[in-house]
Chain A
Amino acid sequence: MTWDMDYALDSLPPILEAFLRYTLLATVLGSVLAAVLGLVFAVIRRAHVPVLAPLTTVFIEFVRSTPIPIQLFFMFYVLPSIGITLGGLFVGVLTLGVHYACYYAEIYRAGIDAVPPGQWEACTALSLPARYQWQRVVLPQAIRNVLPSLGNYVISMFKETPFLFLISIPEMVRTAIDIGGGSFRYVEPLTIAGLIFLAASYPSSVALRRLEHRVGHA
């Protein structure tokens, strides 16, 4: 088996393009959705909103326990039948976002639990209404607590974007395979895809670990 450098370099641009247009975009949009929705879930559960809180718990557990590919298929086929026909990327981002929101909800919860009870008591002593208690005191501290973990899940989502190919999105790995299929040489394109993954995720992991140390000593 030999390595064909020319072939490898030829396959780089399309793979890179797929990375930027689909993989990276889906990761960013999905993470934003997950971060926001996860926060909503976490606050609902922590504030024990009647009816919504237990429903949210069951929903989170259900979504966390089932495979992303199946969820993607489910959403891909079910959404159009209830009238939403917004294309593959929308379905992908929505599914990934909701799925990861369930992980984020647990992380936020750990962060909220880590806020010292004295902070809550001080809010009571000052008669600070619930809205400001959350917004101005608890959440800022909670989120700072768990910033590194949130970052880890962004990386995790990034590595699960290949699933999007199941709903016909030409993301990076799919593109690599198509190129490989064209000339029956898979080694170079797949290796390049793998290297891009490493190049994107490893430095981020290192940076996050450093952030974790800094936050820990704050």
Chain B
Amino acid sequence: MATPDTTSPEAQHGGSGSPLITFDKVVKRFGDHVVLRDLDFNVGPGERCTLIGPSGSGKTTILRLLMTLEKVDGGHIWVDGEPLSHMPKGDRLIPADEKHQRRVRTKIGMVFQQFNLFPNMTVLGNITEAPIRVLGKSRDEAEQDARELLERVGLEAKVDAHPTQLSGGQQQRVAIARACAMEPKVLLLDEVTSALDPELVAGVLNVLREIAETTDITMLIVTHEMHFARDVSHRVLMFDGGQIIEDSPPEEIFENPAHERTKRFLKAVLEQG
């Protein structure tokens, strides 16, 4: 097997606006089941991509690999020009150590389906914990930034509340604020509204729309909310069986899907409203 160079394939080819994220022949297995096989794709800076497809098609796995919650079984992932799960040694790539991973990973933030707020801290504590411990901000600075973020998500009043006192939608908005407090370049959104009561979904989606409109943060979104995806994405990628079978702007893929599989999937999903 050829040992890859220590710079990303795209950078090697000297493209302008080199991609922020590159998956290079990534393979991921769970036991005998191969979820991703030789997956190649790129995401440019500021791009917002929605990943759609049936469950088990690998969409969430991609997010989890980027967040280093899972390890790749083959291939490489590049973030902002640096390898994520590997690190350069001389002119080879070896599996990354914790320090390297943590450094590259700080550029990525994630919001989870189950919110995963820390129940033993207040809302303010949740948002300021990582900026203080990881980014080295002072407590005052972190709290100041946290309050601003809470204002943007409409929860200034809940600064000292505990997560258990908030509704699902409020908790998720705090989770979004918490992820944004780390000033990531990439935001991963893993079915962030799927665990919410229907009435609370809109609140969260509006916050995400606002972030999309006012910042140029790169987003990778896994969702079933097709209208939201259409409003916010630059690209929609249809996954099936661990492969991308279609990759187009939202207008195209929703109006006129090229692939039969995509057609069937969209029909089934959109019918559920």
Contact = CB atoms under 8 A, between A and B. Distances in A.
Contact of A118 (B105, B106, B116): B116
A37 to B, nearest CB: 23
B259 to A, nearest CB: 32
B83 interface: no
Interface in B114-144: 114-121, 129-130, 133-134
Contact of A125 (B110, B121, B129): B110
Most buried by A among B109, B114, B121: B114
Interface in B67-86: 67-69
A122 B112 contact: yes
A9 interface: no
B119 A128 contact: no
A119 B118 contact: yes
B70 to A, nearest CB: 10
Contacts of B67: 121, 124-125
A136 B129 contact: yes
A122 B115 CA distance: 8
Contacts of B129: 126, 128, 132, 136
A132 to B, nearest CB: 5
Contact of A126 (B119, B121, B182): B182
A137 interface: yes
B116 A127 contact: no
A141 B117 CA distance: 12
Contacts of B178: 126
B134 A127 contact: yes
Task: Identify whether the interface residues of A are mostly helix, strand, loop, or mixed.
Answer: helix
Nearest to B64: A121
A18 to B, nearest CB: 41
Contact of A127 (B69, B114, B130): B130
B102 interface: yes
Given A121-B69, A132-B129, A132-B133, A127 B112 contact: no
Interface residues of B, number: 25
B120 A125 contact: no
B26 interface: no
A127 B106 contact: yes
Contacts of A127: 102, 105-106, 130, 134, 182
A144 B120 contact: yes
A140 interface: yes
Interface string A127-143: 11100100011001100
Contacts of A125: 67, 69, 108-110, 112, 116, 179
Interface in A120-169: 121-122, 124-129, 132, 136-137, 140-141, 144
Contacts of B182: 126-127
A149 B144 CA distance: 41
Most buried by A among B112, B116, B119, B134: B116
B120 A128 contact: no
Most buried by B among A121, A126, A128, A141: A126
A119 B110 CA distance: 13
A126 B130 contact: yes
Nearest to B111: A125
B122 to A, nearest CB: 13
A66 to B, nearest CB: 37
Contacts of B109: 125-126
Given A121-B69, A122-B112, A124-B67, A129 B102 contact: yes
List the 6 closest A-B pairs by CB distance, nearest first.
Answer: A126-B130, A122-B116, A118-B116, A125-B110, A140-B120, A127-B106
Interface of A: 116, 118-119, 121-122, 124-129, 132, 136-137, 140-141, 144
5 contacts: A119-B118, A124-B67, A125-B69, A126-B129, A141-B120
Given A124-B68, A125-B67, A136-B133, 4 more contacts: A118-B112, A118-B116, A127-B106, A132-B129
